[in-house]
Amino acid sequence: MDTNAGNHWVGVCVNIIERKVEVFDCGRGKNRQYVEKFAAIIPRIVKSVAPQERQKQLLLSSYSIVDVPMKLRLNKSCCDCGAYALKHLECSLLGLDVSLVDDEIIMGCRQKIGVDLWEAAHDPIFAEVMTRYVPSPWERSEVFDLEDD
């Protein structure tokens, strides 16, 4: 999600077990309405992909939203939005302090992400596995636009 300034990003980590969405937002809530819409859609997605016998048991109430504390004035360059979002999600996944990610190291992080993607694209095992990939029916179904009210 970008603002007019072009340097805003939002990362979300969905915890299906605890029914919560952790929000990594460098703009401190500027796009809260999109996160709320996303949190409301998650139960419907989970219910639609659940086995038929479990669908009746699943609740459709929105997931709770938890704002992860962020440093002020991150992302001085509009080129680093994706790198910031990925590195904050990675910190969350690995249990690291998100304050480790800042403008001093983000260029190196962006370069590392690029190298990792290049290596994955040239990995013969990964390339062979991707030739056999068949999207599931839910990946080919209707797309939801979070900006529609």
Q: What is the pLDDT of residues 93-121, one digit of tens each?
A: 888 888 888 888 888 988 999 999 899 88
Asked if the model's pLDDT at residue 91 lies above 80, the reply is: yes
Supply the pTM of this predicted model: 0.60
**Residue 138 or residue 34, greater confidence:** 34
- 32 vs 51: CA distance, rounded Å: 32
CB 82 within 8 A of CB 38: no
Whether the CB-CB separation of 74 and 47 falls below 8 Å is answered with no
Is residue 71 over pLDDT 80? no
Bridge partners, residue 24, by sequence: 11
pLDDT at 143: 60
SS3 label, residue 60 = coil
Residue 60 has pLDDT above 50, yes or no: yes
144 against 16, higher pLDDT: 16
Spell out where the chain has E strands: 10-15, 20-25, 64-67
Question: What is the rounded distance in angstroms from the CA atom of residue 148 to the CA atom of residue 130?
Answer: 33
Q: Which amino acid is at 20?
A: K
10 Å CB burial of residue 63 (0-12, 13-18, 19+) is buried
Count the neighbouring beta carbons within 10 Å of the beta carbon of residue 147: 8
